[in-house]
């Protein structure tokens, strides 16, 4: 994402002692900042999700640079956010186009969105689901399938291969 959250500072990646979870402090802070940009505000939930994303990223890549770890952890965060959004909207996880549209609508939608609701146990409240459904983009006008009349093809530009 190219826009920064007002309270997030850019945290440079440089070598420092790893955090207690074994991940570099700067990398974990960047992943946590990304979760805040996605609309989450509960510090315990953000820390838990950041740790899970970093763990999965490390598991998928083995040892590597902090930059690669950060990229893979952010990919995992995006995947988890999309999955939670699809679950809240009762969309199939493979419907990438609709999920991407929903993510964009949510992130551009305003202050009402609290991403913490996506990660609570059980289904999100009906009010929250209603708000999500209301901001989903709709095709304008709605798609209407029309019958098309059969039209014979006339190849008048081609010479006939039959003798006259």
- Assess if residue 42 is contained within a domain: yes
- Helix/strand number for the chain, H first, E second: 5, 0
Q: Count structural domains, the chain.
A: 1
pLDDT in tens, 36-61: 988 888 999 999 999 999 999 888 87
Residue 41: per-residue pLDDT: 87
Distance CA 117, CA 84 (A): 9
Residue 68: per-residue pLDDT: 87
Among 1-10, 55-64, 72-81, the range scoring the smallest mean pLDDT is 1-10
- Assess if residue 160 is contained within a domain: no
pLDDT in tens, 144-163: 788 888 888 777 666 666 65
Higher pLDDT, 138 or 19: 138
What residue numbers bound the domain in which 61 lies? Answer: 25-135
């Amino acid at each position: 994402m190219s826009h920064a959250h007002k309270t997030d500072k850019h945290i440079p990646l440089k070598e420092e002692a790893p955090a207690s979870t074994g991940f570099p402090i700067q990398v974990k802070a960047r992943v946590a900042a990304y979760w805040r940009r996605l609309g989450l505000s509960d510090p315990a939930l953000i820390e838990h999700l950041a740790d899970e994303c970093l763990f999965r990223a490390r598991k998928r890549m083995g040892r590597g640079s902090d930059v690669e770890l950060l990229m893979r952890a952010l990919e995992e965060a995006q995947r988890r956010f999309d999955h939670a959004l699809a679950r809240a909207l009762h969309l199939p996880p493979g419907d990438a186009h609709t999920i991407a549209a929903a993510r964009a609508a949510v992130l551009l939608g305003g202050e009402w969105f609290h991403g913490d609701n996506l990660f609570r146990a059980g289904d999100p409240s009906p009010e929250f689901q209603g708000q999500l459904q209301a901001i989903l983009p709709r095709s304008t006008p709605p798609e209407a399938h029309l019958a098309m009349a059969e039209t014979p093809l006339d190849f008048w530009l081609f010479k006939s291969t039959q003798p006259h």
